[in-house]
A and B are shown apart, each in its own frame.
Chain A
Amino acid sequence: MSHDNPLQHPEVQVASGRGYLLTFLISTLLMGVSLLLVANHAMAPFGLMLVLSLCAGLAVIVQIYFLMHMDLSEAHIWNTVALVLTIPLFILAIGLTAWMFSTLYERTMVMLPTMHGMAGMVH
């Protein structure tokens, strides 16, 4: 098995120049598009944030798949499981915090309308 020659280890063998190049191209493209959208004020803030989030999400998914090699193969399954178990926690931590503070700001009236990046739709 792999333990004779470390270079035969599946995690070494999974490397793929094509995948890395593809990731580079896709994520650079997506970041470039986001940049242009923001620089040109192409959309209203709410729609803009939606598109930006989409671009970021797509770039990250590509990177996680091609760069981090998260898949269901025997060599990577546990890494993938660990990731899938923790992603909801990131979402909970950020999402619930954002939610509670947005209601707090509303109720304590510190938030002036249309000032928050995400909150173009408030008011």
Chain B
Amino acid sequence: MEKPVRSIVIVGGGTAGWITAGRIAAEHQHDSAQAVQVTLVESPTIGIIGVGEGTWPTMRNTLMKLGVSETDFFRECNASFKQGAKFAKWVNGADDDFYYHPLMLPQGFQKGDLSSAWQREGSAQSFSEAVCYQEAVCEHGLSPKLITTPEFASLANYAYHLDAGKFAAFLQKHCTTKLGVKHVLADVTRVVAAESGDIAAVEVERAESNGSDQIAGDLFVDCTGFSSLLLGKHFEVPFVDRSDVLFIDRAIAVQVPYADDDSPIASHTISTGQEAGWIWDIGLSNRRGVGYVYSSRHTTETEAESTLRNYVGDEFSELSPRKIPITSGHRELFWKNNCVAVGLSAGFLEPLEASALVLVELSAEMIAEQLPACRSVMDITAKRFNETFLYRWDRIVDFLKLHYILSEREEPFWVDNRKPESIPDSLQALMSLWKFRAPGDHDFTSNNEVFPAASYQYVLYGMGFKTNMNWRSASDAERMFAQEQFALNERAVRQALDTLPSNRELISKIKQYGFAAI
């Protein structure tokens, strides 16, 4: 038989590298000699990006698949709960201008749509408040579960906020001690090509020994971050620039300490619109991570820094801001020959909906679960992988852009964002449909969707979009259904406020007692 895919070499030890290594190793771990060997090569000199603190609920599944304990994860990564995002000052910049994109579907979403009823009745409550109890949970700083809830299980759906640096170290320890991943600290200096054009090996210079040696493999995973060493540099796969749609190209990030040990921890990411971009605010268990992502075409670095200073307050002067350039876009292909890129090496879009790590998770999952048995079938997997992920990048671009196009803010950054030539056709088509009916599952029918119709509803109606419902009137059944669901949501709010502890309280308890596995 043809030579099977046995040896997988991952270059890069950021979150992308370790998640991919762990998923593949866990999926193919067994005692027999047939086991797939995963080797991760990481530069001892080039650091990881060290930002990226917001995740999706998919991270719970990823951690379970890796076989880590949620308690250890909370303790070692300064993690906290994330139950959605609060978008403040995106519509008109007023102080009371905000809406939520929670992690739970609108009440009764599987059975029927509430957005039409909510619009007809001209409810005093915002859409997210009227249809999802999670907004109230977040507004009260409550956690999504109890200390008696088993690990990874939830009462309200949740994801995490985590310390990116600690997370990579945590995964490294688990992958090397529990999953048999070989860890090589060395700089990759050269790619050794085979006659077929595949990568035969990477040449490395190890820290401890002089001279270089080669690490051969059957499949290479490029997790080298923005440098995209294998896919970008070696294979010269072109970069598809999306900055015509998404303008943000700079970040300044700071770590802000809490006032004291009992300061409340927000249970959601807060994203606040600014003159030329927006500020993320993520509460970890031990500090906040705050950063301004902006468009350098619309503001200067000095102005951006003072915007961030205004947001953070006096203590800003004691912090050391990190500046990170960002290019919006992705590679034209992600899998070429025997090399697949995961993480920043594949591409990056502004972190508005924390879509980077979820793409890492989805990529790692697909590679682990559909690992080609041998080289001759690899091109088929590669083709599928490329189709799947190109579709996903496109949908993410659409969904991120949606956040901008309904704003009424007047600063040039916001005005430019509304220009039709900056809005993808696919999004414009959906917007035309949604003038007359609400987003529904029928608008998103691929197996590879990233955001469900509910997410579009939260953003559309949160931003004040009006779907014209006059052309059809609601049936009695629809009215009854809506009333029932609104009442159920009110009940769920009361119940949640009665039972859930504060985010801070639960996180302290996790540190002290831990979650049980059942």
A binds B: no
